[in-house]
């Protein structure tokens, strides 16, 4: 059962009601009871211990008692900061990609626009809720960054891109664990990158690497690539990466 719940800013010691959405989740979904312990985390590396001290009214709104004097570092993070860039797949599959990618340890998600990408309605508020809930569920210290959608060329021209860069490509050699602490994986749309796009990606220093022998869906390629790149990572407590 999840024990970590995102709340920002973290409250000081004492008794506090919870925001409506979190209150509803704890009361109606988790069926929390008086005395149950919870951990509140801010998604940026800090947390505080609390316990349910009361449930008010017919709406069953929990009140919590914050026990720690100051927020403390907590949770776990991989020691590799992995960014994945991908055109969002259609339907509800983007939410699945974000949820499971957060569980695997992806640090940042960069939705892309490309020539053959399926045009689908973006849902940034819902997606943000998905990654926050998944981070709490799997005991992560930080909520992954969910960046605004951008054009492929914009990504390639970003001077902040790490030196270790990979393109998911069935024709490349197998993908191995990350070699540095900063890495980016680019996955094309289900229709594939155009020849011009692929040339631009390779010219920008992205090395083609194979996730698996079969052709994979976008979300499967992202998750397979993340699992391979992070397979040799240590899990760190008390993270200090911004």
Instruction: Please give the Cα distance from 97 to 112 (Å, whole number).
Output: 14
For 129-163, the pLDDT digits (tens) are: 999 999 998 889 999 999 999 999 999 999 999 99
CB atoms under 10 Å from CB of 224, counted, come to 19
Q: Delimit the domains of the chain by residue range.
A: 4-73, 77-237
% of the chain with per-residue pLDDT over 70 = 92
Distance of CA 175 to the CA centre of its chain: 21
Sign of the four-CA dihedral 89, 92, 96, 102: positive
Assess whether pLDDT exceeds 50 at residue 219: yes
pLDDT tens, position by position, 160-195:
999 999 999 988 999 999 999 999 999 999 888 999
Residues in the chain: 242
Right CATH for 4-73 from 2.40.240.20, 3.30.365.10, 1.20.120.530, 3.20.20.70? 2.40.240.20
Q: Is the pLDDT of residue 57 over 80?
A: no
Classify residue 109 by burial, with Cβ atoms within 10 Å: 0-12, 13-18, 19+: buried
Burial 61-76 (b: 16+ CB within 10 A, else e): bbbbebeeeebeebbb
Helix (H, G, I), strand (E, B) or coil at 152: helix
Total-model pTM = 0.85
Q: Which overall architecture, per CATH, does domain 77-237 show?
A: 3-Layer(aba) Sandwich (3.40)
| CB burial readout 24-59, b (16+ within 10 A) else e | ebbbeeeebeeebebbbbbbebbbbbbebeebeeee
Query: Tokens 């316990």 identify what position?
Result: 51
pLDDT tens digits for range 26-56: 887 788 888 888 889 998 888 899 998 888 7
């Amino acid at each position: 059962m999840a024990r970590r719940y995102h709340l920002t800013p973290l409250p000081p010691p004492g008794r506090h009601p919870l925001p409506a959405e979190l209150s509803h989740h704890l009361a109606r979904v988790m069926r929390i009871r008086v005395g149950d312990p919870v951990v509140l985390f801010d998604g940026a590396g800090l947390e505080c211990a609390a316990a349910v001290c009361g449930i008010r009214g017919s709406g069953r709104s929990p009140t919590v008692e914050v026990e720690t004097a100051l927020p403390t570092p907590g949770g776990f993070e991989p020691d590799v900061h992995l960014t994945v860039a991908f055109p969002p797949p259609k339907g509800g599959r983007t939410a699945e990609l974000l949820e499971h990618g957060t569980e695997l340890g992806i640090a940042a998600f960069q939705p892309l626009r490309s020539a053959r990408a399926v045009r689908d309605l973006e849902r940034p508020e819902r997606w943000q809720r998905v990654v926050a809930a998944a981070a709490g569920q799997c005991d992560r210290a930080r909520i992954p960054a969910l960046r605004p959608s951008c054009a492929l060329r914009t990504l390639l021209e970003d001077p902040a891109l790490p030196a270790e860069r990979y393109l998911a490509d069935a024709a490349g050699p197998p993908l191995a664990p990350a070699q540095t602490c900063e890495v980016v994986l680019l996955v094309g749309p289900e229709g594939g990158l155009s020849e011009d796009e692929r040339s631009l990606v390779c010219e920008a220093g992205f090395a083609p690497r194979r996730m698996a022998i079969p052709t994979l869906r976008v979300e499967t390629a992202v998750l397979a690539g993340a699992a391979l790149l992070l397979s040799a990572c240590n899990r760190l407590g008390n993270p200090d990466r911004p």
